[in-house]
Amino acid sequence: MGWLTSLGTAAADLTLGRCCAGCDRPGVHLCPECRDELEPHVRFHTRVHLDEVAPGVGLPVFASLQYTGVRRHVLYRFKDHGDFSMTPFLVSALRAVLDEVTTHTDVSPRVAVPIPSRRAAHARRGFSPTVHLLQRALPRTRPRLRIASLLVDERTGRGDKGLGGADRRASVAGAFRLRGHGSGDPVILVDDIVTTGATMREAALTLMHAGVHVVAGAAVAGTQLG
C-alpha cells in the first residue's frame, strides 16, 4: 500500500468513522458479506451505436459489477470520499473485465484509454478514480495493456446524473478533445461506471473520428448488465 493510499484510508477513517463501505456495519472497512458482493462477474452491458462513423457500427461495452446496493455504496465511498481501502476490490473487478474483453474480442486491444472525469469532479476529489484503478490493474492483465490518456475533458456546467438517454447524449456532445494521437494499436475505452453508455459513445466518437481503432468499452460497474 503506497503512502497516498494509506493517507487516503486514514482520512476516510477520520471522516466516516470506521464502518463497512457496503452496509455501514461498524468496526470494519468492508465486512465479509459485502466483500462477497464485490466478486467480479463480467457481463455484457450494452452496445453503443456509432452510426456517425459508419452505418451499423457499434461498440460492445462490458462491466464487472452490477451498479446497485453494496457495489454502489463501495464505489461512492471510493470515488467521493477517497477511501482507498476499497482499491484492491475494485482493481480486481476492473482486471476481470479487461481480461475478459481482451481475450474475447475479435481484435485484441493493446491500449487502454481512460475516460476522464469532469474537471470539476477531479478538482474536488483530487484524483481520477478510473486512472487510479487502471494504473493498478494494468500490470497484471493478459495480454498486457498500456495506458494512453488520449482524451481531455471539455465539459462545463453541472453533471448529467439523472438525465435519460437522449438528453444525456445531447449533454455529452463535444465532451472530449483528443490529446496527442493514437499509436495505431487497437484501443479499449475504460470508465469506472457506465450507465446509459452516452459518455462511452462520445468518447468513442472522439477517438474514431481521429482514426483511432476502438474495439470495446469496459467499466468496473454497470447499471444494466445482461
Residue 25 vs 41, nearer CB to Zn ion: 25
Residue 27 vs 126, nearer CB to Zn ion: 27
Would you mind telling me the total number of residues written for the chain in this entry? Answer: 226
User: Nearest 5°: phi and psi at 136?
Assistant: -85, -25
Q: Environment class of residue 96 by beta-carbon count within 10 Å: exposed (0-12), middle (13-18) or buried (19+)?
A: buried
Residue 20 vs 98, nearer CB to Zn ion: 20
Query: Shortest Cβ distance from residue 164 to Zn ion (Å)?
Result: 32
Neighbours of 104 (CB within 10 A): 12
DSSP class of 217: E
Degrees, nearest 5: CA angle 91-87-101: 15
User: Which spans of this chain sit near Zn ion (rule: CB under 5 A)?
Assistant: 20, 22-23, 25, 31, 34
Question: What is the distance of C-alpha 116 from the center of its chain?
Answer: 9
**Amino acid occupying residue 44:** F
Query: Shortest Cβ distance from residue 22 to Zn ion (Å)?
Result: 4
d(CA 68, CA 113): 25
Query: Shortest Cβ distance from residue 70 to Zn ion (Å)?
Result: 7
Query: Shortest Cβ distance from residue 37 to Zn ion (Å)?
Result: 8
Residue 22 vs 109, nearer CB to Zn ion: 22
Residue 12 vs 212, nearer CB to Zn ion: 12
Query: Shortest Cβ distance from residue 114 to Zn ion (Å)?
Result: 29
